[in-house]
């Protein structure tokens, strides 16, 4: 596990450096060189989807009055997903009295889906793995999870989502530097993401207990469910130090 995470950390840095040599960064690569960013629009246009792994991601920026944390200098964030066929076999959606399955007629109407089916693909459920907040210079600031209404996902228990994290890969046989970077980021920070997913579930259930049996997964009062600041170089340094200790 440590060796794989170290490989992912080195890959993330290689991708960052490769993009810098081309005069861009992770964010500008996602924007495709666009100088004007339209709030809420997905970048790259149409999302990035891997038809083999069923992994999907996009970058977008919220309108300034809709940002939940402006103090960190966040420009926008990536959302990473797995569609149902990409999940570990045997996992099932979590069903609560409020009905966790997106689109169930007894549940409140959710926001517009944030991970629409790619062209030519079936309209199957998707699961949000994590979001990566970025600054304008292309530096990752934090990882965070969200409530179901934010992404329109079908809700799976944290442990089941965490068990599928290493199935996220995009780009096929010819991934771009951006594809390689986001795949590497999920590998490098896999334990952190698993912890954030567990904190997500705890936050949702705590909100439900305090508020009564509300439709918690569609409650706009709860948006970000867990978050953690990150530093790629520092994380890789900690992993390499741990590897030296066990060598």
Q: Does residue 178 register a pLDDT over 90? A: yes
pLDDT digits (tens, 9 = 90+) for 45-93: 889 999 999 999 999 988 765 544 555 688 999 999 999 999 999 999 8
Residue 106 pLDDT level (bands cut at 50, 70, 90): very low
Residue 108 pLDDT level (bands cut at 50, 70, 90): very low
Q: Which two tokens stand for residue 214?
A: 């509300």
Task: Domain of residue 213: give its range.
Answer: 2-246
Q: How many CA atoms lie within 13 A of 173 on its CB side?
A: 0
pLDDT at 210: 87
pLDDT digits (tens, 9 = 90+) for 185-217: 999 999 999 999 999 999 999 998 888 766 888
pLDDT at 104: 55
Torsion of CA 51, 90, 196, 11, to 10 degrees: -40
Residue 100 pLDDT level (bands cut at 50, 70, 90): low
Residue 110 pLDDT level (bands cut at 50, 70, 90): very low
pLDDT at 71: 53
Instruction: Please give the mean pLDDT across all residues of the chain.
Output: 88
- How many Cβ atoms are within 10 Å of 88's Cβ, its own excluded? 15
Report the pLDDT averaged over residues 107-116. Answer: 55
pLDDT at 37: 77
pLDDT at 136: 87
Total domains, the chain? 1
pLDDT at 51: 93
Report the pLDDT averaged over residues 19-48. Answer: 88
pLDDT at 95: 74
Cis peptide before 91 (omega within 30 of 0): no
């Amino acid at each position: 596990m440590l060796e794989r995470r170290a490989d992912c950390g080195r890959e993330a840095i290689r991708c960052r450096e490769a993009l810098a040599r081309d005069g861009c960064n992770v964010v500008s690569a996602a924007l495709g060189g666009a100088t004007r960013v339209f709030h809420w629009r997905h970048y790259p246009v149409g999302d990035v989807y891997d038809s083999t792994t069923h992994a999907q991601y996009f970058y977008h920026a919220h309108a300034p009055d809709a940002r939940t944390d402006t103090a960190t200098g966040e420009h926008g964030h990536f959302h990473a997903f797995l569609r149902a066929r990409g999940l570990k076999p045997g996992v099932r959606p979590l069903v609560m009295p409020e009905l966790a399955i997106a689109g169930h007629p007894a549940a409140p109407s959710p926001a517009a889906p944030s991970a629409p089916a790619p062209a030519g693909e079936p309209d199957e459920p998707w699961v949000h793995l994590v979001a990566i907040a970025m600054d304008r210079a292309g530096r990752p600031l934090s990882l965070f999870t969200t409530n179901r209404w934010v992404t329109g996902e079908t809700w799976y228990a944290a442990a089941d989502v965490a068990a599928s994290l290493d199935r996220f890969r995009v780009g096929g046989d010819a991934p771009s530097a951006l594809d390689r970077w986001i795949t590497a980021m999920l590998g490098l920070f896999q334990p952190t993401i698993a912890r954030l997913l567990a904190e997500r579930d705890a936050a949702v259930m705590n909100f439900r207990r305090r508020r009564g049996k509300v439709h918690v997964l569609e409650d706009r009062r709860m948006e970000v469910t867990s978050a953690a600041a990150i530093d790629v170089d520092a994380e890789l340094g900690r992993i390499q130090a741990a590897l030296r200790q066990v060598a």
